[in-house]
Amino acid sequence: MERKNLNDLKKFLDKKVVQFNNRDFIKDDPVCIPHLFSKKQDIEIAGFFAATFAWGIRKTIINKSKLLFQLMDHAPYDFCLNHTDQDLKKLEKFCHRTFNDTDLLYFVSFFKFHYSKNKSLESAFFNNITIRPHDNSDIIERALNYFNEYFFSLEDVPGRTKKHIASPAKNSSCKRLNMYLRWMVRNDNKGVDFGIWKKITPAQLICPVDVHVARVSRQFGLLKRKPVDWLAAVELTEELKGFDPQDPVKYDFALFGLGILEKY
């Protein structure tokens, strides 16, 4: 693409970022779920469940997430750490699409295990990888692969539950996990993303990619790869760094908005 056309595209996408990256965006997006909470650990857990549920109709994702935290007495961190067997019975028969109560109980057991030894879920992604300043190469790939192994390291993991946590090693685009990392890491004072994790910078994030974002990206010449996989997410992110190397993932707002909200 010629430089003039690239400049025009950047201006267009920047306008779309401004249009969608603001507090008006929150109420109709799954990111509204972690915004229901103020404690850091509640935000982390609520955000993780909302991101895990984030496929299908957004209204349904939001309603099912709210139902789950109603069952947890609107205190997910306290529930995960201090639940009784009787408390767990309240989770029976919960489901969202293919995510059922077997999966939910394992997620709760993981959070109990992790938070009994750690103050933040950030360490579940980044504790065992080397992070060098200004190194944007494969930090997220290594972090997501490590998280997948760590998340399923408890005994008696239900085989069915493994399908709910993607990894680059399985060549997934990891759309929902990359979206979750965007929520936790980006902090631009616009009110949507939280910026409560500090081990990496926004420059090191990978853009969330699904079929809608991929379609719009191809129309703009930002993505050539046909499979919607990990390499596609990396390819798109590298192109977006040409527009803003310090915060390429802000363009997720523009591409998502064009693909889903405006049916571009």
**SS3 category, 65:** helix
Please name the amino acid found at residue 240: L
Angle at 170 between CA 164 and CA 171, to 5 degrees: 110
Please name the amino acid found at residue 68: L
Q: Which two tokens stand for residue 43?
A: 């935000």
Mean pLDDT value of segment 49-68: 96
Give residue-wise pLDDT tens across range 202-236: 999 999 999 999 999 999 999 999 999 999 999 99
If we measure between CA atoms, which residue out of 166, 244, 171 comes closest to residue 205?
A: 244
Map 111-167 to HEC letters.
HHHHHCCCCCCHHHHHCCCCCCCCCCCCHHHHHHHHHHHHHCCCCCCCHHHHHHCCC
pLDDT band at 263 (very low <50, low <70, confident <90, very high): low
Give residue-wise pLDDT tens across range 134-173: 667 799 999 999 999 999 999 999 999 999 999 999 999 9
Are 257 and 20 a contacting pair, CB within 8 Å?
yes
**SS3 category, 29:** coil
Average pLDDT, the chain: 94
Give the per-residue pLDDT at 21.
97
Give the per-residue pLDDT at 130.
79
pTM of the model: 0.95
If we measure between CA atoms, which residue out of 223, 232, 243, 260 comes closest to residue 12?
A: 243
Mean pLDDT value of segment 22-30: 96
